[in-house]
Amino acid sequence: MERGMVILLTIQRISKQTGISVRTLRYYEEIGLLLPATKTDGGHRVYSENELKILQQIVFLKTLGFKLKEIQALLNNTWEWEASLNQQLAFLVEEQRKLQEMESAILGLKNATAIEGGLTESLLQKFIKVSNQEQDKKQAIRQKIFAASEMDLMSKLPGLQLFLILQQ
Protein backbone atom coordinates (compact mmCIF):
# COMPACT_ATOMS: atom_id res chain seq x y z
CA MET A 1 0.00 0.00 0.00
CA GLU A 2 1.47 3.39 -1.00
CA ARG A 3 0.40 6.80 0.11
CA GLY A 4 2.25 9.39 -1.99
CA MET A 5 5.92 8.48 -1.52
CA VAL A 6 5.31 6.75 1.83
CA ILE A 7 5.11 2.96 1.70
CA LEU A 8 2.81 1.41 4.25
CA LEU A 9 2.93 -2.32 4.97
CA THR A 10 0.26 -4.40 6.65
CA ILE A 11 1.00 -6.26 9.85
CA GLN A 12 0.84 -9.57 7.95
CA ARG A 13 3.41 -8.36 5.42
CA ILE A 14 5.72 -7.09 8.17
CA SER A 15 5.40 -10.43 9.92
CA LYS A 16 6.17 -12.36 6.74
CA GLN A 17 9.16 -10.17 5.83
CA THR A 18 10.72 -10.04 9.29
CA GLY A 19 9.78 -13.41 10.75
CA ILE A 20 8.25 -11.68 13.77
CA SER A 21 4.82 -13.05 14.52
CA VAL A 22 1.65 -10.98 14.16
CA ARG A 23 0.95 -11.81 17.79
CA THR A 24 4.30 -10.30 18.85
CA LEU A 25 3.69 -7.17 16.78
CA ARG A 26 0.26 -6.79 18.38
CA TYR A 27 1.81 -7.25 21.81
CA TYR A 28 4.38 -4.55 21.06
CA GLU A 29 1.47 -2.27 20.19
CA GLU A 30 -0.41 -3.25 23.34
CA ILE A 31 2.52 -2.27 25.58
CA GLY A 32 3.22 0.88 23.56
CA LEU A 33 6.60 -0.29 22.27
CA LEU A 34 5.77 -0.23 18.55
CA LEU A 35 2.65 1.51 17.35
CA PRO A 36 1.45 1.19 13.75
CA ALA A 37 1.72 4.32 11.61
CA THR A 38 -2.02 4.21 11.09
CA LYS A 39 -4.96 1.90 10.78
CA THR A 40 -7.12 1.43 7.73
CA ASP A 41 -10.83 2.17 7.75
CA GLY A 42 -11.30 -1.54 8.35
CA GLY A 43 -9.04 -1.40 11.42
CA HIS A 44 -6.01 -3.12 9.85
CA ARG A 45 -2.63 -2.03 11.21
CA VAL A 46 -0.16 -0.58 8.72
CA TYR A 47 3.48 0.32 9.30
CA SER A 48 5.81 2.80 7.61
CA GLU A 49 9.58 2.82 7.20
CA ASN A 50 9.88 4.61 10.55
CA GLU A 51 8.17 1.77 12.39
CA LEU A 52 10.40 -0.73 10.59
CA LYS A 53 13.44 1.16 11.88
CA ILE A 54 12.07 1.03 15.41
CA LEU A 55 11.37 -2.69 15.00
CA GLN A 56 14.96 -3.25 13.89
CA GLN A 57 16.19 -1.45 17.02
CA ILE A 58 13.92 -3.59 19.20
CA VAL A 59 15.23 -6.79 17.62
CA PHE A 60 18.85 -5.69 18.02
CA LEU A 61 18.44 -4.65 21.65
CA LYS A 62 16.68 -7.94 22.39
CA THR A 63 19.69 -9.82 21.01
CA LEU A 64 21.83 -7.91 23.51
CA GLY A 65 19.62 -9.24 26.29
CA PHE A 66 17.53 -6.18 27.07
CA LYS A 67 14.01 -6.68 28.40
CA LEU A 68 11.10 -4.99 26.63
CA LYS A 69 10.67 -2.38 29.39
CA GLU A 70 14.36 -1.53 29.15
CA ILE A 71 14.11 -1.28 25.37
CA GLN A 72 11.12 1.01 25.71
CA ALA A 73 13.08 3.32 28.01
CA LEU A 74 16.02 3.37 25.56
CA LEU A 75 13.79 4.04 22.56
CA ASN A 76 12.06 6.92 24.33
CA ASN A 77 15.34 8.80 23.96
CA THR A 78 16.11 10.22 20.54
CA TRP A 79 17.57 7.46 18.40
CA GLU A 80 19.80 8.30 15.45
CA TRP A 81 19.23 5.64 12.83
CA GLU A 82 22.50 5.92 10.85
CA ALA A 83 24.67 6.13 13.95
CA SER A 84 22.83 3.19 15.47
CA LEU A 85 23.41 1.01 12.40
CA ASN A 86 27.09 1.91 12.41
CA GLN A 87 27.32 1.01 16.09
CA GLN A 88 25.50 -2.27 15.55
CA LEU A 89 27.82 -3.17 12.70
CA ALA A 90 30.86 -2.34 14.82
CA PHE A 91 29.46 -4.48 17.63
CA LEU A 92 28.90 -7.44 15.30
CA VAL A 93 32.37 -7.14 13.76
CA GLU A 94 33.90 -7.06 17.23
CA GLU A 95 31.81 -10.05 18.31
CA GLN A 96 33.02 -11.99 15.25
CA ARG A 97 36.62 -11.12 16.11
CA LYS A 98 36.12 -12.28 19.70
CA LEU A 99 34.55 -15.54 18.56
CA GLN A 100 37.48 -16.15 16.23
CA GLU A 101 39.89 -15.51 19.10
CA MET A 102 37.96 -17.88 21.34
CA GLU A 103 37.89 -20.52 18.60
CA SER A 104 41.62 -20.15 18.14
CA ALA A 105 42.22 -20.40 21.89
CA ILE A 106 40.06 -23.52 22.18
CA LEU A 107 41.77 -25.16 19.19
CA GLY A 108 45.13 -24.27 20.72
CA LEU A 109 44.05 -25.74 24.04
CA LYS A 110 42.80 -28.87 22.29
CA ASN A 111 46.06 -29.28 20.36
CA ALA A 112 48.18 -28.58 23.43
CA THR A 113 46.14 -31.15 25.36
CA ALA A 114 46.86 -33.74 22.67
CA ILE A 115 50.58 -32.93 22.72
CA GLU A 116 50.81 -32.86 26.52
CA GLY A 117 48.76 -36.04 26.84
CA GLY A 118 46.01 -34.38 28.82
CA LEU A 119 44.78 -31.14 30.26
CA THR A 120 47.38 -29.53 32.49
CA GLU A 121 47.06 -26.82 35.08
CA SER A 122 49.19 -24.40 33.04
CA LEU A 123 47.01 -24.89 29.95
CA LEU A 124 43.89 -24.20 32.00
CA GLN A 125 45.48 -21.08 33.46
CA LYS A 126 46.33 -19.80 29.98
CA PHE A 127 42.77 -20.38 28.79
CA ILE A 128 41.32 -18.63 31.85
CA LYS A 129 43.65 -15.67 31.26
CA VAL A 130 42.48 -15.34 27.65
CA SER A 131 38.85 -15.56 28.77
CA ASN A 132 39.30 -12.89 31.44
CA GLN A 133 40.76 -10.42 28.95
CA GLU A 134 37.32 -10.29 27.33
CA GLN A 135 35.80 -8.46 30.32
CA ASP A 136 37.63 -5.21 29.61
CA LYS A 137 36.84 -5.49 25.92
CA LYS A 138 33.10 -5.94 26.59
CA GLN A 139 32.96 -2.76 28.65
CA ALA A 140 34.84 -0.86 25.93
CA ILE A 141 32.39 -2.12 23.30
CA ARG A 142 29.42 -1.08 25.45
CA GLN A 143 30.89 2.40 25.71
CA LYS A 144 31.32 2.57 21.93
CA ILE A 145 27.79 1.43 21.23
CA PHE A 146 25.95 3.56 23.75
CA ALA A 147 26.31 7.25 24.44
CA ALA A 148 27.13 8.35 27.99
CA SER A 149 23.52 9.38 28.56
CA GLU A 150 22.34 5.92 27.45
CA MET A 151 24.89 4.21 29.72
CA ASP A 152 23.63 6.39 32.57
CA LEU A 153 20.03 5.48 31.76
CA MET A 154 20.88 1.78 31.59
CA SER A 155 22.59 1.95 34.98
CA LYS A 156 19.31 3.26 36.44
CA LEU A 157 17.06 0.63 34.86
CA PRO A 158 15.99 -2.10 37.28
CA GLY A 159 17.57 -5.43 36.52
CA LEU A 160 19.98 -4.02 33.97
CA GLN A 161 22.84 -3.65 36.43
CA LEU A 162 22.77 -7.44 36.85
CA PHE A 163 22.73 -7.88 33.07
CA LEU A 164 25.74 -5.58 32.70
CA ILE A 165 27.59 -7.39 35.48
CA LEU A 166 26.83 -10.80 33.97
CA GLN A 167 28.10 -9.61 30.60
CA GLN A 168 31.50 -8.85 32.12
Read off the pLDDT of residues 124-158 as tens digits, 9 standing for 90 and up: 776 676 666 656 566 665 666 666 666 666 666 55
Bridge partners of residue 51, in order along the sequence = none
Read off the pLDDT of residues 37-75 as tens digits, 9 standing for 90 and up: 988 888 889 999 889 888 988 998 888 777 888 788 778
Which pTM does this prediction carry? Answer: 0.51
Cα separation, 46 vs 56, in Å, equals 16
Angle between helices 148-156 and 68-76 (to 10 degrees): 140
Three-state secondary structure call for residue 9:
strand
Bridge partners of residue 131, in order along the sequence = none
In 21-80, which residue ranges form alpha helices assigned H by DSSP? Answer: 22-30, 49-63, 68-76
